[in-house]
């Protein structure tokens, strides 16, 4: 069966952090897709600023808003949205990211061409960072918690086989989902083109392996780690030393900046001291000029000097 004309269900968990404009931009990027046969299900995770209010100006019957009155986090939001979805093709999508207009069209084309179970793409990080991420969804890289691909198109059959997103996790539910799919033999294809923009905050950037996530993965998928332990250790070591090298290089660069900033601070403090001295000298001079003159000639000279001083200042 051709996938190009099929209904795609875009699932968007939403929790407001005081930036409703991000949700508006994310929703608009879905509505701007060149593939128009989709439904967008926004799952409002007990936000203080309800999605219904934020999106009140959107008059599009492809948008459905579901509100949860109790905060349950992204995994539960995705599961809730997918349970209400009509499509057999799913796209989980974060409420602060941006899809490029051709995203759905191109991932559907790749799925139809290859017969794979899921398609993901490169993505452009923006906001606090500006770089293109080229993820590789392989078993060992996911075991190392190397990437969390939040946006991809996959078949509902894969979701059902994995058992959905683990709601016991407040973070890294995407990585757990990926490992569940890979360990069951589902096949992923990558489009080597940045087709979505991922809002990346400085506080959220993780370069190396996240040991807590890896430990959690090993707990949930012990068979995968037992069977692929050797490959995992090789991958983990490579990622670790690459991250350490990058970190040390970053420290050296920061040290240089700090040193330059220290010199700049020292020069600024010197200039501020000189300015204070000049102010004191001017104050003394003005005091002297305001004193009664000893004679008429002195008075005339004082007036002339003060006029000239005020003019130059």
| Tens-level pLDDT at each residue, the chain (313 residues) | 566 679 999 999 998 766 888 999 999 999 999 999 999 999 998 888 899 999 999 989 999 999 988 888 889 999 999 999 999 999 999 888 999 999 999 999 999 999 999 999 998 877 766 778 888 899 988 988 876 677 899 999 999 999 999 998 877 889 999 999 999 999 999 999 999 887 765 444 445 567 788 888 888 899 988 898 888 888 888 877 777 776 666 666 666 666 666 666 777 777 777 777 766 766 665 565 555 555 444 444 445 444 544 544 4
CATH of the domain at 218: 3.90.550.10
Q: Does the residue 59 lie in any domain?
A: yes
CB atoms within 10 A of CB 102: 15
**Is residue 309 a part of any domain in this protein?**
no
Give the whole-angstrom CA distance, residue 24 versus residue 95: 9
Task: Give me the phi and psi of 65, to 5 degrees please.
Answer: -115, 125
Kindly state the tokens that stand for 139. Answer: 């078993």
Residue 99 lies in a domain: yes
With respect to residue 55, please indicate whether it lies within any of the assigned structural domains. Answer: yes
Number of domains in the chain: 1
Distance between CA 145 and CA 119 in Å, rounded? 19
Q: Domain for residue 242, yes or no?
A: no
Helices and strands (H and E) in the chain: how many: 11, 9
Which pLDDT belongs to residue 203?
Answer: 44
Domain that holds residue 162: 8-227
Residues 6+ apart with CB under 8 A from 201: 127, 128
Q: Does residue 28 form part of some domain?
A: yes
For residue 100, what are the contacts with CB-CB under 8 A and spacing of at least 6? 29, 194, 195, 196, 197
pTM above 0.85, yes or no: no
In a domain, 64, yes or no: yes
Q: Report the pLDDT value the prediction gives residue 206, as an integer from 0 to 100.
A: 44
């Amino acid at each position: 069966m051709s996938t190009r004309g099929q209904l795609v269900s875009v699932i968007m968990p939403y929790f407001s952090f005081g930036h409703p404009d991000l949700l508006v931009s994310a929703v608009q990027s879905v509505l701007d897709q060149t593939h128009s046969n989709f439904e967008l299900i926004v799952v409002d995770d007990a936000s203080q600023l309800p999605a219904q209010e934020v999106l009140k100006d959107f008059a599009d019957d492809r948008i459905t808003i579901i509100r949860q009155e109790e905060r349950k986090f992204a995994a539960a939001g995705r599961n809730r949205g997918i349970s209400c979805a009509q499509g057999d093709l799913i796209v989980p999508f974060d409420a602060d990211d941006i899809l490029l207009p051709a995203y759905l069209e191109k991932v559907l084309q790749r799925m139809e061409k290859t017969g794979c179970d899921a398609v993901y793409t490169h993505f452009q990080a923006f906001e606090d960072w500006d770089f293109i991420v080229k993820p590789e969804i392989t078993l060992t890289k996911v075991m190392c918690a190397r990437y969390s691909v939040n946006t991809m198109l996959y078949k509902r059959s894969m979701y059902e086989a994995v058992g959905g997103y683990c709601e016991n996790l407040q973070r890294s539910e995407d990585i757990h989902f990926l490992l569940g799919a890979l360990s069951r033999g589902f096949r992923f294809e990558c489009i080597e083109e940045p087709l979505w923009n991922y809002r990346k905050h400085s506080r959220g950037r993780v370069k190396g392996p996240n040991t807590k996530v890896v430990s959690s993965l090993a707990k949930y998928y012990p068979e995968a780690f037992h069977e692929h332990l050797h490959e995992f250790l090789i991958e983990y070591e490579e990622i670790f030393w690459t991250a350490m090298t990058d970190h040390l290089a970053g420290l050296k660069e920061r040290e240089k900046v700090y040193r330059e900033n220290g010199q700049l601070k020292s020069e600024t403090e010197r200039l501020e001291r000189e300015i204070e001295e000049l102010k004191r000298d001017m104050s003394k001079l003005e005091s002297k000029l305001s004193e009664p003159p000893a004679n008429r000639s002195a008075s005339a000279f004082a007036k002339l000097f003060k006029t000239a001083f005020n003019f130059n200042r």
